[in-house]
Amino acid sequence: MSSDFRTGYVAVIGRPNVGKSTLINQITQQNLSIVSHKPQTTRHQILAIHTTETGQMIFIDTPGIHNNNKNALNRKLNQTAMASAHDVDCILFIVDSLKWTDEDMKVCQLVRKTKAPVILVVNKIDKIIHKERLLPHLERIKEHVDYHAVHYISALKNKYVDELMDEIYPLLPVSEAHFDSEQVSTKPTAFFVSEMIREQVMHRYHEEIPYSVTVEIESFKYEGELCHIHAIIWVERQNQKQIIIGKQGQAIKKVGMQARQQIEEFIDSRVNLKLWVKVKSSWTDDQKALDSLGYSDEY
Q: At 83, give phi and psi (nearest 5°).
A: -65, -25
Q: Which CATH number fits domain 189-292: 1.10.540.10, 3.30.300.20, 3.40.109.10, 3.40.640.10?
A: 3.30.300.20
pLDDT score of 207: 62
pLDDT score of 176: 93
CB contact set of 68 (below 8 Å; sequence gap of 6+): 40, 74
DSSP codes of every residue in 117-180: -EEEEEE-GGG-S-GGGHHHHHHHHHTT---SEEEE-BTTTTBSHHHHHHHHGGGSPB---SS-
How is domain 6-171 classified at the CATH fold level? Rossmann fold (3.40.50)
Q: What is this structure's pTM?
A: 0.77
Comma-separated ranges of CATH 3.40.50.300 domains in the chain: 6-171
pLDDT score of 66: 47
Comma-separated ranges of CATH 3.30.300.20 domains in the chain: 189-292
Q: At 179, give phi and psi (nearest 5°).
A: -130, 160
Burial of residue 219 (CB within 10 Å: 0-12, 13-18, 19+) is exposed
Residue segments in the chain with a per-residue pLDDT below the cut of 50: 39, 66, 298-299
The CA distance from 20 to 33, in Å, is 9
pLDDT score of 75: 60
pLDDT score of 299: 40
pLDDT score of 35: 54
